Structure 1
């Protein structure tokens, strides 16, 4: 499996298949019942030694399986982020940050815990790497339910240059401006200042 993962730089089309095998071997029901086939350490080494195509596919499939219709790996998301996802500085990139943020934005009730887990791995996201396309009119919007966690996330990913902010970021700031938990936070004031100068 490690050899296959390393070869993905030459064959990125196989990333989807390899990502599925890795996740099932690490956290699938059968693997957990019979003894994990891929350990945290093994999975982490594979992620360190492979390409971004596999890393992003692993995050995408984890998101689909944990928070999509299948709901197979929901209880494994936090262990994955704490024990598997690498902490290497070289992997703190806008691309990988955007995929980690998308995982958080789809995590529902786990959102605050996922944000805490991914914050040390995030860098500002520039350009088209991320769209925060969440309906701000929805009463269950994450910024309404967890304003402090949303502000933590935005503070970590919003660049100094407002033109590089993800789509809908300013709408979410508007929600945070009405939340008692965040309205007086100096980080929100700084983000509003940046927006006003743009």
Structure 2
């Protein structure tokens, strides 16, 4: 029925014809899964519908996103599966709900990691739109980060890496300020899994590694893991030398920050990284952090 809207390309505010809207609304009231399917398809087109028929969207569709509405689940599922950041003025209308949506979506059986879509939309609205009506304040963004699950927060760290890589000077002008100004500093959010996510973010920062590490350091805690998060710190990537060779001081400090003082086994990359540190900056062999880590290796 949406394909039946007249014209090859709909103009702004050109409206969905009433005979189509009435049929769609009757489908919303159909029994069983048919109704859910109609709602989900409609909400997957919400950006376009807001452009073509904003009054219908505001008064008939947006209320269906209320968490206590009977159609809320298929409405959010379709909206989030579109994977398109809501454009203004749609973002202005849905922002109050988006700010509360992540915990609600995480509790749905159909989640399929869709909570990460919400948090990435909100991150985009803060980083790129914070001075506009559809942007977020620092307090709103921080509250969202506190309320999401650890898994969703780690996926958000991955998204921050994409922001850093995908924008000119993104690491230094977008990501580092976000970490310094917005990221919650409570100890409860510094988990073993988040440390691995931070290390994964850091190994893609290129020449901005020192700046980003300075922002990330306060969120690190010692953890013991059977994974290999420092894999790229000992290997060349393309034409680039290993991160450790490029930034031995920061890498040594990073290792010291995340390595427990007592280990049940030596982390796989630790001896290799220490060799690279000593070769790249021989003066660090007398550093108390280097000596402490070498002692751990030799005691294993």
Task: Give TM-score, length-normalised by structure 1.
Answer: 0.86
Change (3 A) 1:44 1:137: closer
RMSD: 2.2
Q: Distance in 2 between matches of 1:42 and 1:32?
A: 11
Listed as ranges, the matches of 1:56-95 within 5 Å are 56-67=154-165, 70-71=166-167, 73-74=170-171, 75-95=173-193
Alignment of 1:107-126 (within 5 A): 107-126=205-224
Q: Deviations over 1:4-62 (max 9, x none)?
A: 1222441452123113202210113xx26746701222111111122112211110111
Please give the alpha-carbon distance, in whole angstroms, between the structure 2 residues aligned to 1:83 and 1:94: 22
Compared CA separation, residues 8 and 177, structure 1 to 2 (3 A): farther
Matched, 1:148 2:244: no
1:47 aligns with 2:149: no
Residues 1:106 and 2:204 are matched in the alignment: yes
Structure 1's 188 and 162: CA in aligned 2 closer, same or farther, altered over 3 A? farther
In our comparison, the structure showing a higher alpha carbon Rg is 2
**Is the alpha carbon distance of 1:18 and 1:137 closer, same or farther for their aligned partners in structure 2, counting shifts above 3 Å?**
closer
Alpha-carbon distance in 2 for matches of 1:153, 1:16: 27
Deviation per CA, 1:70-103: give whole Å up to 9, x if none: 3374320111110111101111111112212221
Q: Is the 8 A contact 1:125 1:157 kept in 2?
A: yes
Q: CA deviation at 1:128?
A: 3.6
Change (3 A) 1:181 1:81: farther
Q: Please, what TM-score do these two structures have when normalized by structure 2?
A: 0.59
Q: Give the structure 1 partner of residue 119 of structure 2.
A: 19
Number of residue-to-residue matches in the alignment? 193
What does the per-residue CA deviation read over 1:127-161, in whole Å, with 9 as the maximum and x for residues that have no partner? 24552111635362221121111111000111220
CA pair 32-92 structure 1, distance change in 2 beyond 3 A: closer
Give the unaligned 5+ runs of structure 1: none
Aligned to 1:2: 99
Kindly indicate whether structure 1 or structure 2 has the higher relative contact order, using CA contacts under 8 Å at least 6 residues apart.
Answer: 1
Q: What's the counterpart of residue 269 of structure 2?
A: 168
